[in-house]
A and B are shown apart, each in its own frame.
Chain A
Amino acid sequence: MMKKLNYILLREIRQSKKEILTIAALIFLGMSVFVAYYLAYQNLNFATEQYYRQYQLFDYYVEAVNIPSEVMVKIKELEGVTSVIGRISTDLSCDLPQGKRITLRVISLPDRQVPLVNQISLVSGEFFNDKTNNLCLLEKKCAVKHELKIGSALKLIANLKQYQFLVGGLVISPEFLIPTKVTTLNSDFEQSDGIIYLKESVVRSILNYQDNYNQLQIRFDNRATRFSLIKRIGKIIKPYGFIRGVARQERIDYHVLNSEIKKHFRIAWFFGILALSIAGIMLNMLQKTRLNRQRIEINVLKTFGYSKQRLLRHYLSYVFLIGILGIVPAFLSGSFWGTLITKHYQQTFNIPVVKFHLFGMVFLLASLVTCCFCLLSCYQITRKFLSIKVSESCLNGYRRRPRFFLKRWTLIWGELSFEWKIVLRNLSYHWDRTCWIFWGSVVSIAVMIFSFFLFSSLDFGLRQHFNNLQQYDLEVVFNRPVSYYDIMELQKIEGISKIEPILEVRVNLEKDWRTNEAKIVGVVERSTLINLVNQALLPIQVSKSGIVLSEAIARKLGVRVGEVVFVKPYLGSAYEKPIKVIGIVKQYLDFGCYMEIKSLGELLGEGSFTTGALLKIVPRKLQAIKQELMNYPVVASVIEREVAFETRKNNYLLIYVFMVGLFLWGIINNFIIIHSSNKLNLNERQYDLGLLIFAGHPLKKIVKILFLENLILVLISFLPGIFLGNLIAYLFVKIFSYRVLAWEMVIYPYTYLITILISLCLVVLAQRANCKMTQLDFVSELKNREG
């Protein structure tokens, strides 16, 4: 049979269901995010690790100009190396059946077997066979993106010849889990639109490779000392035109994927703890009010022999139940959202999650964290109340309150109306609640301002980059180096008003002990299609006398104008050369460096050549120009600046979602804080307010008093809220600028206006949500209390 204390508990829950539901909803929201993101994190982590292990992802890969196959044997003999494969990889232009030209990364695979390292997984179709040499395997994401199917014909262009291949199968590889993207000038990402796998013998014949490779993929033994092994491999490869060696962890896509997965873990904890902290404070206030109201009941129960521990359990079970009420539906909703998030990432990153696991540990952790927060938030206050001696708790006396400070200033105090006196006194007496609403409001305003800042700053950066710094309409990328003078031929195409050649080279920059991998873009002197400006937004020109670095790279290298950096191009014949820094350029995205195009060619020791061109065109001729450009076999792709802008915006979709989420959270947070505090305030003061009504004050006045209390707190929280929002934005700019984007401190005046208006609306809405208070029978509360 149910204990009578449980009866009390259940009836109490029924009576205070609104307050309970508000807090439970907050726990539900926070823990839904926690469960969803933690489950997604566990599933993605588990799936990628399993996938890497199963499909033998490389530990280290080496790029060189020509690696003979016997070198591979030499490396395999090194202690700690478990397997090595050689392959040929290069970017080639490819004409699609629908007439579009894209750039594909061609990778050779053994003719008859799956490679030992970086094994591919066949999603559909079949592997190569001995009967035909014109079959290729296509990366699944690329096939989906370009609407290619098994049997689709692809025309690869190599050495100005076309080779036709039929898609024999769709594959995924642990090496390319991150999709390739359409990018623009100076992007850090690879420029291929997808991966195509061909038989090794076929690649050798079309690219004229004899018995050599240009890449080695290596797997190490887990116990191997990697550092010394990598050093030894570097020494072996050096005579064969060593370009670079990259460990798995250093590869940008592996790194990005890993940090994306870890982001889920951080989001889970951040939002979980944040929501529980707020819920904890609200629970504490609710429990305090509840204990205050039940002093007599506590006294009675203790008088009749209920021990402190038993009552502690009873009172804490109330908060525990609120936690359960929030966490149980959060399990369901979290699992649902977790599945969706995992699916989304699975599709975005090609992660082959075979089955979505509901990791019991996540639910256990969520329950444990919630219970701990709920119990800890109320344990101290409950214990304190229950420690009051029975004989003392019998004393039903009034609390002695300190003299209100304004009372000393009789001139002011005397002028105040009766309701203002009540408002000010109440704010001063219930200091904890006053602080809670004030700080809650400050944080919410700051969060709203910060989310506006994120939006404004990102938008500003994108517009500056694509509309002000880039003045061209089209970027043409060639599939092989082209003579500087040959591209002027393109100017004959009708509608092209201006053309500027560019040369893009990946290099390693060094200054003392600091190094940075970057891309140098060679542009013509006095370029009008690329607008370079310094930190003071004054124009900078490239010249033969040196290199212009982006602000981000200059910071990383610790270099200033006038100093020298060492530039080592990733090309076999080029050696490291010192170059003077002649300027530091302001960039918002895609941090790179600029040089005068001929100087860059000389640096490479290859003479005057280009890898692309920037075009200014007559807008109405766009389609015709694009069509004509694609007729040139040397043209790999044509990228519209406007399209690149939209593509980039879409790439930042997650940041936009985060902004909206943050903004909504700020609003909900503020509403919940004001609403719940209002509710507690009403509960606590029914007796006092009843007395006012009994004395003849109209109900309207009571509503006004409560409204004024909230309004004052929200009004005085504007300035600190705006200050805090600006501070967070400033710190964000300082900490996160130059990682992916150069965030600018952009907060428009409308941000403050909207935030203030929303906060004021929330006060009214919270009051309206509590408007049932007009139906409260204050006087009957008075009678009950007297009874």
Chain B
Amino acid sequence: MKKNLLICETVTKDYTDGNGLSQAIKKVSFTIAKGEFTVILGPTGSGKSTLLNLMSGLDIPTSGRVIFDGAPISNYKQHQLTDLRRVKIGFIFENFNLIPSLTVRENIEVVTELIKFPTNLEQILSGVGLLERSEHFPGQLSKGEQQRVALARAVAKNPLMICCDEPTGGLDYKEGLIILKLLKVINQATEKNIVIATDNQALAMVADQIIKLQSGEVLEIVENQPPINLDEIVW
């Protein structure tokens, strides 16, 4: 039996805004085993991104516990969360969020230079098909290429888990599929956990586990046995 990488126990996250207190996540509990490909599925406003933030140490819950790799990260202080994200978590954003003043190579190096044992840069660049464009700036790349750089940046530091917030959101089908395939390959080849937050039902089909969210609550957790082939999905 696989060991758990992440455990969420009755996790709640409250926000205070102009209209008073609002609960983004309500007593959510689930586990993610090591090496799993997980999709958090839910409509806009269901709390996917908030949950992803809590899982990746970007934020801490109002109540409940988040245990990552055996450590209770919900009790962590900011500097401990920073250390955690630096070493163990990779992140891919919907809008890529590359640094415009750095080249493709430098955008990856800005992350790897924080790590003692990063992955080989050339290997990663050739893996995402951007070796020849490594000296280009983000503004010179297509959206799909930019997302591939973001993917390379997340993988380069050799994290335990890669969190992706709508990774195919701004991309067309073809480019989205490339990203998805790359994520799947990384998951299978390196046994790194991939967690995708999306509202795209089709993406959920490739996951080992689907966590369905609605209004901040877990609707159901589905184990995909076995997940369908990537070439079969269409959106």
| Interface residues, chain A, with chain B CB atoms under 8 Å away | 3-5, 7-8, 11-12, 15, 296-297, 299-308, 389-391, 394, 396, 400, 784, 787
Contact = CB atoms under 8 A, between A and B. Distances in A.
Nearest to A12: B101
Given A4-B106, A4-B110, 13 more contacts: A3-B113, A4-B109, A5-B110, A8-B99, A15-B101, A299-B97, A303-B91, A304-B85, A304-B86, A304-B91, A305-B87, A391-B50, A394-B93
B102 interface: yes
Nearest to A390: B58
A662 B114 CA distance: 51
Interface residues of B, number: 34
A304 B93 CA distance: 12
Interface string B73-112: 0000011001101110001010101111110001001110
A308 B78 contact: yes
Contacts of A15: 101
A373 B165 CA distance: 41
Contacts of A307: 79, 82
Interface in B100-153: 100-102, 106, 109-111, 113-114, 139, 143, 146, 153
Contacts of B79: 307
A296 B97 contact: yes
Contacts of A296: 95, 97
A550 B95 CA distance: 80
Give the residue among A5, A305, A307, A389 with the most B Cβ atoms within 10 A.
A305
A314 to B, nearest CB: 11
B59 interface: yes
A7 B139 contact: no
Given A389-B59, A390-B58, A787-B143, A304 B101 contact: no
Given A3-B113, A4-B113, A389-B59, A305 B99 contact: no
Contact of A297 (B56, B58, B91, B99): B99
A391 B99 contact: no
A410 B64 CA distance: 51
Contacts of B87: 305
Contacts of A3: 113
B197 to A, nearest CB: 12
Nearest to A387: B78
A303 B162 CA distance: 12
B93 to A, nearest CB: 8
Contact of B97 (A8, A300, A391): A300
A303 B58 contact: yes
A300 B85 contact: no
Given A5-B110, A389-B59, A302 B82 contact: yes
B212 interface: no
B157 interface: yes
A687 to B, nearest CB: 14
B53 interface: yes
A739 B85 CA distance: 69
Nearest to A10: B101
A301 B85 contact: no
Interface of B: 18, 49-50, 53, 56, 58-59, 78-79, 82-83, 85-87, 91, 93, 95, 97-102, 106, 109-111, 113-114, 139, 143, 146, 153, 157
Contacts of B53: 390-391, 394
B106 A304 contact: no
A10 to B, nearest CB: 9
Contacts of B143: 787
B101 A305 contact: no
9 contacts: A8-B110, A300-B97, A301-B110, A304-B111, A304-B114, A305-B114, A306-B82, A390-B53, A391-B50
Contacts of A784: 100, 139
A293 to B, nearest CB: 10
A300 B101 contact: no
A4 B79 CA distance: 21
A473 B49 CA distance: 93
A7 B78 contact: no
Contacts of B146: 787
B106 A7 contact: yes
Give the residue among A3, A302, A390, A396 with the most B Cβ atoms within 10 A.
A390
A15 B53 CA distance: 33
Contacts of B18: 400
B171 to A, nearest CB: 12
Contacts of B111: 304-305
A4 B115 CA distance: 13
A389 B87 CA distance: 19
Contacts of A303: 56, 58, 85, 91
A306 B101 contact: no
B59 A8 contact: no
Give the residue among B113, B114, B153 with the most A Cβ atoms within 10 A.
B114
A389 B139 CA distance: 27
Kindly list the 8 A-B residue pairs having the minimum CB-CB distance in the complex, ordered from nearest.
Answer: A305-B86, A4-B110, A391-B59, A11-B101, A391-B53, A300-B97, A304-B111, A390-B58
A8 B102 contact: yes
A300 B86 CA distance: 11
Give the residue among A3, A5, A304 with the most B Cβ atoms within 10 A.
A304
B102 A4 contact: yes
A303 B99 CA distance: 13
A546 to B, nearest CB: 80
A7 B109 CA distance: 11
B82 A305 contact: yes
A264 B134 CA distance: 57
A302 B98 CA distance: 13
A299 B93 CA distance: 11
B86 to A, nearest CB: 2
A137 to B, nearest CB: 72
B69 to A, nearest CB: 15
A302 B114 CA distance: 12
A7 B59 contact: no
Give the residue among B87, B110, B143, B146 with the most A Cβ atoms within 10 A.
B110
A12 B24 CA distance: 37
A9 to B, nearest CB: 9
Nearest to B163: A303
Contacts of B113: 3-4
B4 to A, nearest CB: 23
Nearest to A787: B143
A305 B83 contact: yes
A391 B85 CA distance: 13
B82 A391 contact: no
A652 B109 CA distance: 64
A311 to B, nearest CB: 10
A7 B102 contact: yes
Contacts of A300: 93, 97-99
A296 B143 CA distance: 17
A3 B82 CA distance: 19
Nearest to A304: B111
A307 B110 CA distance: 13
Contacts of A400: 18
B58 A391 contact: yes
B114 A306 contact: yes
Contacts of A391: 50, 53, 58-59
Nearest to A400: B18
Contacts of B91: 303-304
A319 to B, nearest CB: 17
Nearest to B86: A305
Give the residue among B97, B101, B111 with the most A Cβ atoms within 10 A.
B101
Give the residue among A297, A299, A303, A784 with the most B Cβ atoms within 10 A.
A303
Nearest to B83: A305
Give the residue among B49, B50, B56, B78 with the most A Cβ atoms within 10 A.
B78
A90 B95 CA distance: 91
A7 B99 CA distance: 11
B18 to A, nearest CB: 8
Nearest to B170: A787
